[in-house]
């Protein structure tokens, strides 16, 4: 997949929605038993119910890894169910020294064939570099996240008045272009989104925090959209758990459609 | 395991060595084929050859994850081979928002039953908190790492002249005591090790970077040892790949013994 494919998909579908498969066995609708087999079947239903309205899927690896090798098997099965037309993100937040990061890159880009992986920038350039050596794959760096703890370190200010997340963006845009790097920017902090957009005018942002975490889609768009959109707004829990009853497919579909409709109104 | 067990083990064995199982299929000794089965057999041999000289093992999850669910199966098998007398660290460098970190904590503390996991602090307190809710388990936070990229962000200086890694330590010691938190401090930066020790006088440091990465054991000890040692110095490649010939077990044993001997001379 190339960046032009993502932009085309967004404008063709008039949606920049990413659906997050943070699928938790303990929260499956009542009709499923509490098994990994059911988790995969639930994912299949959610993908079927939402793929018309979204352009990306984000799989949260923790919810699979929690069950060890069997959970990873469910992750592999889920990956095979995801449509190749969509931008596929492993939300794994890895990041280690070079020879180790290379192994993670092989795990997610080669073995699982995701288009992108989320990474923590804490260990600096050589922890990211191995991911940049793959063509048509993206390293999505955490910059300013949507959780309360983002205030602890990401907003630490240096002597020039710049916050850490700004330094992360300013440095990493020198490492590779928008064809290899994207940034995670939380929806709950619109002023930081504006700063981030200024520092990375042509890069895609993956934006969590709309929905369950309280961020506003319209504020996100106003603060940081580019002409080509430049945004993938993620919603996980508010879609996949829209209902726990037998109508969970229709409820997920309706919620995804509602978000896509609002996105369509924002797009030029 | 409790912190007093780690200290007793160090003084009984006169070693604070941690052996890192960054086992790479492509670097197995010539007698093994390139399979995950061989990787586990190699780990078994290395554990047998080194357990007398070390007090901890650190398993680098990336080298297993690279092969997906089958790699995770090898990780589970390796975990079962590790002696419960030793402090067992999952070097996974995870860290995500609260409900996701909880899943990672279950994966490594419950499913795999490691004593500790390495974590990236970038997302702040709520990304660490779920790991602190387990008793007799440790969150080992990255502070200042041994790789060149550690200069990119970890040493960013705030307006009071404090570097990011110092803020990470100063804040996180308020979240929990030495019975729940340790820090990763790279051996290649002795001045930073001194700063770190000042900010966290009673906490254990996991110190990578001695050996293949060029840090000195004696300098590390002088810069940051406490009365109870307070250090776990890790060596991975220089032990497990000490020889690629049929004598790899003896070579690993000899290298671990040599490091343990030098540690014994440093300990009071």
Q: Could you read off the pLDDT of A35-62 as tens digits, one per residue?
A: 999 999 999 999 999 999 999 999 999 9
Q: What is the mean pLDDT of residues A176-193?
A: 94
Q: Which of residues 167-206 of A touch B (CB under 8 A)?
A: 167-168, 171
Tokens read off for A265 = 């109104």
Q: Is the pLDDT of residue A179 over 90?
A: yes
> What is the DSSP code string of B117-151?
EEE--TT-HHHHHHHHTSTT-EEEEEEE-SSTTHH
CB neighbours of B141 closer than 8 A, spacing ≥ 6? Answer: B118, B119, B120, B121, B128, B168, B169, B172, B181, B182, B183, B184
Q: Output the CA torsion sign for A59, A60, A61, A66.
A: negative
Distance of alpha carbon A176 from alpha carbon A178, whole angstroms? 7
Pair A226, A201: CB distance under 8 Å: yes
Within chain A, residue ranges assigned H as helices are 3-13, 36-50, 62-65, 68-81, 98-105, 125-132, 150-153, 164-172, 190-199, 217-224, 237-240, 248-266
Q: Which of residues 108-147 of B touch A (CB under 8 A)?
A: 111-112, 120-128, 142, 145-147
Residue in chain B nearest A213 by alpha carbon: B97
Helix (DSSP H) and strand (DSSP E) numbers for chain B: 12, 8
Q: Is B166's Cβ below 8 Å from some Cβ in A?
A: no
**H/E stretch holding A118:** strand A116-119
Which residue among A93, A162, A167, A171 is the active-site one? A93
Residue B101, CA distances (Å) to A128, B108, B201 in order: 21, 11, 27
Residues of chain A neighbouring B98 (CB-CB closer than 8 A): 147
Task: Tell me how far the alpha carbon of residue A239 is from its chain's centroid.
Answer: 14
Q: What is the mean pLDDT of residues A82-90?
A: 98
Identify the residue among A23, A62, A167 best suited for mutation to test binding to B, counting B beta carbons within 10 A and taking the highest: A62
Query: Which among B109, B121, B120, B92 has a CA at the least distance from the CA of B1?
Result: B109
Q: Is the pLDDT of residue B213 over 90?
A: no
Q: Is B36's Cβ below 8 Å from some Cβ in A?
A: no
Residues of chain B neighbouring A145 (CB-CB closer than 8 A): 97, 123
Pair B208, B234: CB distance under 8 Å: yes
Q: Is the pLDDT of residue A212 over 80?
A: no
What integer best gives the mean pLDDT of chain A? 96
Q: Is the pLDDT of residue B129 over 90?
A: yes
- Give me the helix-helix angle, A190-199 and A217-224, nearest 10°: 30
Q: State the DSSP code for B87.
A: E
Q: Is the pLDDT of residue B228 over 90?
A: no
Q: What is the mean pLDDT of residues B225-250?
A: 95
Residues of chain B neighbouring A101 (CB-CB closer than 8 A): 62
Q: Do B73 and A76 touch (CB under 8 A)?
A: no
CB neighbours of A202 closer than 8 A, spacing ≥ 6? Answer: A177, A178, A226, A230
Query: Which among B118, B113, B115 has a CA at the least distance from the CA of B55?
Result: B115
Q: What is the mean pLDDT of residues A111-137?
A: 98
The full set of domains in chain B, from first to last, is 3-266 (3.20.20.70)
Q: Is the pLDDT of residue A211 over 80?
A: no
Q: Do A153 and B159 touch (CB under 8 A)?
A: no
Distance of alpha carbon A125 from alpha carbon A97, whole angstroms? 9
Q: What is the mean pLDDT of residues A69-75?
A: 98
> Coil, strand or helix: which one is A176?
coil
pLDDT band at B190 (very low <50, low <70, confident <90, very high): confident
Residue-level pLDDT at B211: 75
Residue B106, CA distances (Å) to A129, B151, B171 in order: 30, 32, 25
Q: Is the pLDDT of residue A84 over 90?
A: yes
Identify the residue among B69, B90, B154, B206 best suited for mutation to test binding to A, counting A beta carbons within 10 A and taking the highest: B69
The proportion of chain B whose per-residue pLDDT surpasses 90, expressed as a percent, equals: 94
Residue-level pLDDT at B95: 93
Residues of B carrying an active site annotation: 93
Half-sphere exposure of A237 (CA within 13 A, CB side): 12
Distance of alpha carbon B80 from alpha carbon B44, whole angstroms? 10
Residue-level pLDDT at A209: 85
Distance of alpha carbon A229 from alpha carbon A161, whole angstroms? 29
Out of A72, A127, A149, closest to residue B126 by CB? A149
Distance of alpha carbon B50 from alpha carbon B252, whole angstroms? 7
Residue in chain A nearest B149 by alpha carbon: A124
Report the relative pairing of strands B181-185 and B205-207 from DSSP bridges: parallel
> Coil, strand or helix: which one is B72?
helix
Distance of alpha carbon B160 from alpha carbon B209, whole angstroms? 29
CB neighbours of B250 closer than 8 A, spacing ≥ 6? Answer: B49, B243
Residues of chain B neighbouring A125 (CB-CB closer than 8 A): 148-149, 152
Hunting for tokens 């993908």 — which residue is that? A47
pLDDT digits (tens, 9 = 90+) for B28-77: 999 999 999 999 999 999 999 999 999 999 999 999 999 999 999 999 99
Identify the residue among A93, A143, A148 best suited for mutation to test binding to B, counting B beta carbons within 10 A and taking the highest: A93
Q: Do B95 and A120 touch (CB under 8 A)?
A: yes
Report the relative pairing of strands B205-207 and A87-94 from DSSP bridges: unpaired
Q: Do A93 and B120 touch (CB under 8 A)?
A: yes
Identify the residue among B39, B59, B62 best suited for mutation to test binding to A, counting A beta carbons within 10 A and taking the highest: B62
Phi/psi class of residue A95: alpha, beta or left (left: φ > 0; alpha: ψ in -120 to 50)?
left
Q: Which of residues 67-106 of A touch B (CB under 8 A)?
A: 67-73, 75-76, 91, 93-101, 103-104, 106
The pair phi, psi for residue B118, each rounded to 5°, is: -85, 140
Q: Is the pLDDT of residue B219 over 90?
A: yes
Q: Do A75 and B69 touch (CB under 8 A)?
A: yes
CB neighbours of B215 closer than 8 A, spacing ≥ 6? Answer: B146, B186, B187, B188, B207, B209
Residues of chain B neighbouring A168 (CB-CB closer than 8 A): 153
Q: Do A68 and B112 touch (CB under 8 A)?
A: yes
Out of A107, A147, A158, closest to residue B123 by CB? A147
pLDDT digits (tens, 9 = 90+) for A157-176: 998 899 999 999 999 999 99
Q: Look at A188-202, A237-251, B209-223, B227-241 and tell me which has the smallest mean pLDDT.
A: B209-223
> Coil, strand or helix: which one is B261?
helix
Query: Which among B32, B88, B28 has a CA at the least distance from the CA of B57?
Result: B88
Name which residue leads in pLDDT, A215 or B1: B1
Q: Do B100 and A152 touch (CB under 8 A)?
A: no
Pair A55, A16: CB distance under 8 Å: yes
The pair phi, psi for residue A138, each rounded to 5°, is: -120, 140
Tokens read off for B195 = 């700063």
Q: What is the mean pLDDT of residues A227-249?
A: 95
Query: Which among B2, B10, B5 has a CA at the least distance from the CA of B221?
Result: B10
Distance of alpha carbon A72 from alpha carbon A75, whole angstroms? 5
Report the relative pairing of strands A56-60 and A17-21 from DSSP bridges: parallel
Q: Is the pLDDT of residue B23 over 90?
A: yes
| Residue-level length of chain B | 268
Residue-level pLDDT at A159: 87
Burial class (CB in 10 A: 0-12, 13-18, 19+), A158: middle
| Residue-level length of chain A | 268
Distance of alpha carbon A238 from alpha carbon A50, whole angstroms? 12
pLDDT band at A215 (very low <50, low <70, confident <90, very high): confident
């Amino acid at each position: 997949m190339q960046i032009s494919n993502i932009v085309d998909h967004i404008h063709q579908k008039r949606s920049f929605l990413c659906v997050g498969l943070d699928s938790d066995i303990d929260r499956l609708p009542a009709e499923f038993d509490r098994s990994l087999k059911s988790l995969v079947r639930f994912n299949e239903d959610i993908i079927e119910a939402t793929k018309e309205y979204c352009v990306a899927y984000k799989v949260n690896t923790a919810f699979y890894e929690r069950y060890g090798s069997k959970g990873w098997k469910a992750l592999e099965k889920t990956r095979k169910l995801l449509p190749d037309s969509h931008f596929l993100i492993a939300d794994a937040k890895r990041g280690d020294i070079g020879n180790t990061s290379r192994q993670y890159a092989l795990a997610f880009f080669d073995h699982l064939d995701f288009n992108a992986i989320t990474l923590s920038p804490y260990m600096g350039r050589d922890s990211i570099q191995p991911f940049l050596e793959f063509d048509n794959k993206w390293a999505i760096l955490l910059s300013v996240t949507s959780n309360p703890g983002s205030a602890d370190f990401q907003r630490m200010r240096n002597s020039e008045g710049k916050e850490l997340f700004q330094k992360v963006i300013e440095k990493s845009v020198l490492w590779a272009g928008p064809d290899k790097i994207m940034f995670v920017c939380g929806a709950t902090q619109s002023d930081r989104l504006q700063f981030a957009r200024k520092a990375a005018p042509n890069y895609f942002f993956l934006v969590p925090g709309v929905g369950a975490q309280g961020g506003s889609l319209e504020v996100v768009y106003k603060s940081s959209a580019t002409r080509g959109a430049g945004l993938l707004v993620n919603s996980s829990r508010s879609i996949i758990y829209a209902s726990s009853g037998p109508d969970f497919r229709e409820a997920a579909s309706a919620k995804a459609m509602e978000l896509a409709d609002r996105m369509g109104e924002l797009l030029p």
